[in-house]
């Protein structure tokens, strides 16, 4: 049973080139009682199948699933956007899938996830941009910041592909720039911190 967390309710992560290796440094670090939901957009080919879910289910204490349409978002669960679908968060904190046009040449797009999650969670959201080779996630992270959420960007020096983190750093003043190995432990502290 996930414990009651402090201020934050959900984490959204956007990642592209180098993403599987980056996520391997974050998701397995999170304990079974990690009290937040995680929604992840990893750019993957349209025929990528269920590989990400199978891969991370083997190494994570949390439940790892492929997001389905109209599903209530549960704490302590990792939701991966399915290949070739945008993953959105509705205001009722349920998921939605669409095959709308690509954004930043990507479907799923981090911007689509981030912007919709920001509207649903406002200041209870943590947004993270990791390694990647395009600008996806920068505009969405700016929206998260605008609505009071916490913003984190992987330090470009620790990123396999620097374009995505650099684009985010240019788009807004982020709250934290962290090396890859620092992000998982930092999320654990945020999940357990109580509001003052």
Tokens representing 174 are 């982020």
User: Could you give the residue numbers annotated as active site?
Assistant: 16, 43, 136
Q: Which long-range contacts (CB under 8 A, 24 or more apart) does 61-64 make?
A: 61/28, 61/30, 61/31, 61/32, 61/34, 62/27, 62/30, 62/32, 62/34, 62/38, 64/27
User: Measuring CA to CA, how many Å separate 127 from each of 1, 17, 49, 62, 78?
Assistant: 24, 18, 25, 19, 14
Q: What gap in Å lies between CA 39 and CA 82, rounded to an integer?
A: 11
Q: What angle do CA 48, 106, 183 make, to 5 degrees?
A: 80
**C-alpha 75: how far from its chain's center?**
14
3-state class of 126 per DSSP? Answer: strand
């Amino acid at each position: 049973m996930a414990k009651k967390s402090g201020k934050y309710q959900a984490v959204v992560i956007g990642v592209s080139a180098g993403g599987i290796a980056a996520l391997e440094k974050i998701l397995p670090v999170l304990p079974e009682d990690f009290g937040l939901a995680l929604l992840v957009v990893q750019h993957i080919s349209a025929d990528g199948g269920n590989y990400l879910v199978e891969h991370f289910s083997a190494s994570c204490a949390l439940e790892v699933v492929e997001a389905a349409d109209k599903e209530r978002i549960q704490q302590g669960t990792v939701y991966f956007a399915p290949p070739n679908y945008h993953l959105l968060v509705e205001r009722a904190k349920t998921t939605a899938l669409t095959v709308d046009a690509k954004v930043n040449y990507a479907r799923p797009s981090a911007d689509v996830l981030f912007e919709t999650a920001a509207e649903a969670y406002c200041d209870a959201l943590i947004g993270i941009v990791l390694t990647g080779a395009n600008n996806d996630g920068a505009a969405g992270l700016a929206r998260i910041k605008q609505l009071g959420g916490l913003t984190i960007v992987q330090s470009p020096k620790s990123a396999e592909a620097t374009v995505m983190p650099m684009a985010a750093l240019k788009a807004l003043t982020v709250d934290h720039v962290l090396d890859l190995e620092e992000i998982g432990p930092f999320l654990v502290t945020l999940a357990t911190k109580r509001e003052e």
